């Protein structure tokens, strides 16, 4: 049976990564058929699968083949038929009942014992063993305590170790040199047992003889354990260092993120500051021109005009959301308002003085030209006033109240002059006053007789003069 077990393991179960644990030679009850083998196997890979395999010899009789396999978890009942008397018959209850007759009661009992062990170790669902000797089942459990299915105890099943090529060759040589026939398995097993005992004795003597080497080996093992402890300590220190480096790297990464965020904010802040500086910064020269610029000279008027335009641009700049909440922006806007108010007052006062001065100059000019019976030339007055055209436009757009007050003031001054009427424009009133004054002088000079002709000629002269103007 040992040789058959070895052959089945090698030819059938090893290629399928299975291990043969027990085997029984059976035939079906009540039928005369060829014998077959029931094999209890487990897989070598986890999770372990426990199976019961039926193996039959081929028709030619030269090899064995796998016929059918059942999972042990599908086995419900094992019926040994009789727990007291020796009986080779037994039943296995899967989906249906299989009735078998073993070649010997010993093989049947060994096979049932193996199934019991596998059930205790690998299956959660317990198989029901009927008519099985309690002594047979107790032999499978260590005395004093029950075996745990999932514990860390030693394996209940025998471990099968496959022979290597050299061992197979030695066994074949031994079997060839054996005088007894291969059929006499008991004698062959006895001989192997005796030789095994001899070898065990020789091994024990060899071990005892090499006690010194064993002591040296144990000493080396102790030193190796100390080295292992030191290495573990170093590894622990390295692990702590790596953990510290990891924490530092995390801090550096977070710091880099904060630095990047700070740089981004600084760039945005710089952009906002550049916008405010470029659009709300009034040059010192413009400020000085608005505060102290000479409004009587052409160069001073040009400087004041440029400064007033720059001030207007700074005050009308389109601020971005949130800029008006900044204290510096509020202060700058207030400064611009103060400059505008100060310059508007200064400009209005200066223009008022200019208009008053021109009124006096026109009166004196009218007296000088009254003898000549010709209208005075207004070009110098126009030229002086045209220099203030842009500033008057600026004053009108920034402070219309002062502009309107200045206009009324000019009209009031002009109405006080000799005979100036209130109808028409400022220049029209001046021309009318000068014209009437000249006509009065002409009438006195040429007499009343020629008054009508003189008036007609004078009117034509006035029309030509006005067209030329």
Distance CA 7, CA 404 (A): 127
For 195-237, list the strands marked E by DSSP. Answer: none
CB-based contact 376:465 (threshold 8 Å): no
pLDDT at 225: 94
Q: Which are the contacts of 343, defined by CB distance < 8 A and separation ≥ 6? A: 290, 291, 304, 307, 308, 311
3-class DSSP state of 21? strand
pLDDT at 234: 94
Helix (H) or strand (E) holding 40: strand 36-43
Give the pairing of strands 97-102 and 77-79.
unpaired
Neighbours of 235 (CB within 10 A): 10
Alpha-helical segments (H) within 56-164: 105-122, 134-138
Q: Which class would CATH give 2-162?
A: mainly beta
In angstroms and rounded to an integer, the radius of gyration of the C-alpha atoms of the chain is: 65
Distance CA 347, CA 343 (A): 6
Distance CA 50, CA 7 (A): 20
Give, in degrees to the nearest 5, the angle at Cα 130 between 129 and 133: 85
Length of the chain: 469
Both structure tokens of 84: 């007291």
Give the pairing of strands 97-102 and 36-43.
unpaired
pLDDT at 166: 76
Q: What is the pLDDT along the chain (469 residues), one digit of tens a residue?
A: 777 888 888 888 988 889 999 999 998 877 666 788 999 999 988 888 999 999 988 777 667 888 899 999 999 999 988 888 888 899 999 999 999 999 888 899 999 999 999 988 888 778 899 988 887 776 554 433 344 333 333 344 444 455 667 777 777 777 666 655 555 666 777 777 788 878 877 777 777 777 777 788 889 999 999 999 999 999 999 999 999 999 999 999 999 999 999 999 999 889 888 888 887 888 888 888 888 888 888 888 888 889 888 888 888 888 888 888 888 888 888 888 888 888 888 888 888 887 777 666 655 555 455 555 555 555 666 677 778 888 888 888 888 888 888 788 777 765 655 444 444 444 445 555 555 665 565 566 555 444 444 444 555 554 554 444 4
Task: Give whole-number Cα distances, 246 to 236, 240, 278, 350, 371, in Å.
Answer: 15, 10, 47, 77, 108
Task: Give whole-number Cα distances, 199 to 110, 155, 205, 348, in Å.
Answer: 28, 26, 10, 134
130 φ, ψ (degrees, to nearest 5): -110, 140
Please state the separation of Cα 416 from the chain's center in Å: 84
pLDDT at 320: 83
Both structure tokens of 411: 């009209």
3-class DSSP state of 179? coil
DSSP summary character for residue 439: H
pLDDT at 260: 92
Distance CA 312, CA 185 (A): 124
- Tell me the whole-structure pTM to 2 decimals: 0.38
DSSP summary character for residue 164: -
453 φ, ψ (degrees, to nearest 5): -65, -40
pLDDT at 141: 47
Q: Give burial (CB, 10 Å; 0-12/13-18/19+) of 22.
A: buried
pLDDT at 425: 43
> How do the domains of the chain map onto residue ranges?
2-162, 164-209, 286-468
């Amino acid at each position: 049976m040992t040789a058959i077990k070895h052959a089945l393991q090698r030819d059938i179960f090893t290629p399928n990564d299975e291990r043969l644990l027990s085997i029984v030679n059976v035939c079906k009850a009540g039928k005369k058929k060829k014998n077959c083998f029931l094999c209890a196997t487990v897989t070598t890979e986890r999770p372990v699968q426990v199976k019961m395999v039926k193996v039959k010899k081929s028709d030619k009789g030269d090899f064995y083949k796998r016929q059918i396999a059942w999972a042990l978890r599908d086995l419900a009942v094992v019926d040994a038929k009789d727990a007291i008397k020796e009986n080779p018959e037994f039943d296995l209850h899967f989906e249906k009942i299989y009735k078998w007759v073993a070649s010997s009661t010993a093989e049947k009992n060994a096979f049932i014992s193996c199934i019991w062990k596998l059930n205790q170790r690998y299956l959660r669902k317990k198989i029901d063993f009927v008519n099985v000797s309690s002594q047979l089942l107790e032999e499978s459990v260590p005395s004093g305590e029950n075996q745990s299915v999932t514990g860390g105890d030693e394996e209940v099943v025998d471990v099968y170790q496959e022979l290597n090529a050299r061992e197979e060759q030695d066994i074949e040589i031994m079997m060839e040199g054996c005088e007894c026939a291969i059929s006499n398995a008991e004698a062959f097993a006895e001989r192997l047992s005796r030789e095994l005992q001899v070898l065990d004795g020789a091994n024990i003597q060899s071990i005892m003889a090499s006690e010194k080497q064993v002591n040296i080996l144990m000493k080396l093992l102790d030193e190796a354990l100390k080295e292992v402890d030191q290495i573990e300590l170093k590894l622990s220190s390295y692990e702590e260092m790596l953990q510290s480096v990891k924490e530092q790297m995390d801090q550096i990464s977070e710091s880099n993120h904060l630095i990047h965020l700070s740089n981004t904010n600084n760039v945005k802040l710089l952009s906002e500051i550049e916008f405010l500086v470029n659009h709300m910064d009034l040059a010192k020269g413009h400020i000085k021109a608005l505060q102290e610029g000479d409004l009587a000279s052409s160069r001073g008027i040009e400087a004041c005009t440029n400064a007033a335009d720059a001030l207007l641009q700074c005050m009308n700049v389109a601020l971005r959301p949130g800029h008006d909440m900044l204290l510096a922006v509020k202060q700058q806007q207030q400064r611009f308002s103060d400059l505008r108010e100060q310059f508007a007052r200064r400009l209005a006062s200066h223009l008022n003085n200019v208009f008053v001065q021109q009124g006096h100059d026109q009166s004196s000019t009218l007296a000088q030209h009254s003898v000549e019976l010709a209208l005075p030339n207004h070009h110098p007055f126009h030229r002086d006033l045209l220099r203030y055209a842009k500033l008057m436009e600026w004053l009108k757009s920034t402070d219309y109240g002062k502009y309107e007050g200045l206009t009324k003031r000019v009209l009031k001054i002009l109405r006080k002059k000799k005979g100036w009427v209130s109808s028409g424009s400022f220049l029209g009133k001046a021309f009318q006053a000068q014209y009437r004054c000249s006509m009065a002088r002409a009438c006195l000079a040429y007499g009343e007789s020629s008054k009508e002709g003189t008036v007609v000629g004078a009117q034509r002269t006035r029309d030509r003069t006005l067209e030329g103007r």
